[in-house]
Amino acid sequence: TSHLSSTGHITRSPARNPLSFRIMQAKVTLLDGSLFTCTVEKRARGLQLFEQVCEHINLLERDYFALSFRDADNNKNWLDPAKEMKKQVRGVPWNFSFNVKFYPPDPTQLSEEITRYFLCLQLRQDIVSGRLPCSFATHTILGSYTVQSELGDYDPDECGPDYISELSFAPNQTKEMEEKIMELHKTYRGMTPAEAERHFLENVKKLSMYGVDLHHAKDSEGVAIMLGVCSSGLLVYRDRLRINRFSWPKILKISYKRNNFYIKIRPGEFEQFESTIGFKLLNHRAAKRLWKVCVEHHSFFRLVSPEEPPKKFLSLGSKFRYSGRTQIQSRRASAQISRPAPHFPRCISKRNMLSRSLDGGTYHTSIPCGWGLGFLSATLPFYSRVEPDPPAGLLLSSQTFTSETSTTSTTTHITKMVKGGISETRIEKRIVISGDTEIDHDQLLGHPGKVIWKLINWTYFLLG
C-alpha cells in the first residue's frame, strides 16, 4: 500500500509476507504436562499436526491416540485427521491436547513400553480428575505403582518421611492414603518402571469405568442420565448406577436428528420386533458428537478394516467416516515394529511437583493383612443395585441363598406367590461389592459375532 507523507512524497509500507496469512501456530499439551509448539498451514488436515506430535514424542503405535480441542462453548471435540483444521477450530486459539481416544481392552498387548507409559499417564489423569472412579483400596494400590514407576526403589537416604506429599493420586487425597501408598512402595524393591506400569495396566482395565466416554443426556421421561461409549458398546447410567448396556452386536442402527439420539435394538430371544430407544441431548451439536463417537468406537473395535467412502453421487447427509486404522490393523502393524526399545524420560516434575496432577497405579493381590477388612470394604457406587420390592399377593413359599467371593456377597431371594389367580415366581438378587471387579453382565449377551456396518446419512446400519 502507498501513503502520502507530510513532505508530499509517496512512501510504501513494507510488503507483508503472504505466507503469514496461511500459517498458524499450534500449541499441544502432551500427556506429561509439557507443551509442544509448532507451525502448520491453515488448510492442513488434522493428520499433519497429529503426525508432527507423534514424531516429537517418538510414538509409533498411534492409533489409540488423538488430538482434542475445546470449542467456543468449552465442549471437547476430537480433531478429525481427514478434515482441514481451519474448518474445525473456529473462533478459538489453536490449543490442543494429546489424549487417548480408544482405550485398549487389554492394554498389556501393546507392543512398546513407551506406548504403555503414555496410556498410564492418561489413566492417571482420569483417576485424579474423577473420570475413572476407584475405591480407597484401589487408589492406594495404583498410587504405589505410580511412585515405583516414576521414582524407582525406595531409598531411605533420599526419601524423607513425606516424600510423596507433593504428588496427587486421587480427587480427595488423604494423609492416610499417602501412608498406605508409601507402605506398599517400600515393598517393591527391584521392580522396574516397565513392570510397575504393566501391573498398573493389568489391573486398571478391570475398573468398571475404564475407557468409558460419558455424555450428558435425558431419557424419554426427561430424567437426567449419562450415556457412555466404550469398546464393547453403549452404556446408560443414572445416579451413578449403570442401568443398561447395549453391546455393539445388539445394536442394529444408530442415528441422530436435531438434538435426539436414537438406537435401534435387535429383538431378543422371545421378541418378534425391533425396538428403538431415543435420548435427548443438549442440542444438535451434542447429538452429532455422540453419534460420531459411537461410529468411531464401533469402527475401531469391531471392524476388520474401515469402510470405503461412498461415491459422491450417492452421498447423502453427513459425510463423516472413520478414516483411521482399526484395532485389528493396528495390532498387525505393531507386530511388525522392529526398532530397538526407545529410551524416554519419566519426567515426574512437569506433572506433579508443581501442579499435584499425578495419578495412576494397579490392583494389588497381596494386601497386608494388618490393614483389616475395613480397608477393603469401600464399595463402588456404580453397581450398588437393589431391585424393587415384589408386588403384593398370596405368598406360597420363600427361600434365601447367600454366596460370597473375595470381592462380592450375593443374596438370592426366591418367592412363589399367587397374584390374580396366576402363579408367579420371583427371583431377586442383591449384590454387595467389596472390590473393583465388575459384574459380568456380558454372559447374558453372548459372544459378539462378525458384523458389518454401513453408514447412510446420519444413520449407522447393521447389514449382517
- Give the pLDDT confidence of 429-438 residue by residue, as tens digits: 555 544 554 4
Average model confidence (pLDDT) across the chain: 79
Cα gap 186→151, rounded to integer Å: 11
Q: Which of 33-37, 46-50, 88-92, 409-413 has the lowest mean pLDDT?
A: 409-413
141 burial class (0-12, 13-18, 19+ CB within 10 angstroms)? Answer: buried
143 burial class (0-12, 13-18, 19+ CB within 10 angstroms)? Answer: buried
Does the domain at 110-384+455-464 match CATH 1.20.80.10? Answer given as yes
Asked if 150 and 191 touch (Cβ cutoff 8 Å), the reply is no
pLDDT of residue 369: 29
List, for residues 170-221, the tens digit of each pLDDT value: 999 999 999 999 999 999 999 999 999 999 999 899 999 999 999 999 999 9
Provide long-range contacts, Cβ within 8 A and 24+ apart, for 104-107: 104/64, 104/231, 104/327, 105/205, 105/211, 105/231, 105/232, 105/301, 106/205, 107/201, 107/202, 107/205
Q: Which of 106-110, 208-212, 290-294, 455-459 has the lowest mean pLDDT?
A: 455-459
- What count of other Cβ atoms lies within 10 Å of the Cβ of residue 71? 15
pLDDT at 105 over 70: yes
Count Cα atoms within 13 angstroms, Cβ side, for 119: 31
- In sign, the C-alpha dihedral spanning 172, 178, 184, 185 is positive
SS3 of 141-152: the string is: HHHHHHHHHHHC
Indicate the domain borders of the chain: 18-100, 110-384+455-464, 385-438
pLDDT at 91 over 50: yes
- What count of other Cβ atoms lies within 10 Å of the Cβ of residue 464? 8
pTM of the model: 0.72
Grid coordinates representing 221? 421421561
pLDDT at 407 over 90: no
More confident residue, 319 or 437: 319
Q: Which of 214-223, 263-272, 323-332 has the lowest mean pLDDT?
A: 263-272
> Which CATH code is given to the segment(s) 18-100?
3.10.20.90
Beta-carbon contacts of residue 311 (< 8 Å; ≥ 6 apart): none
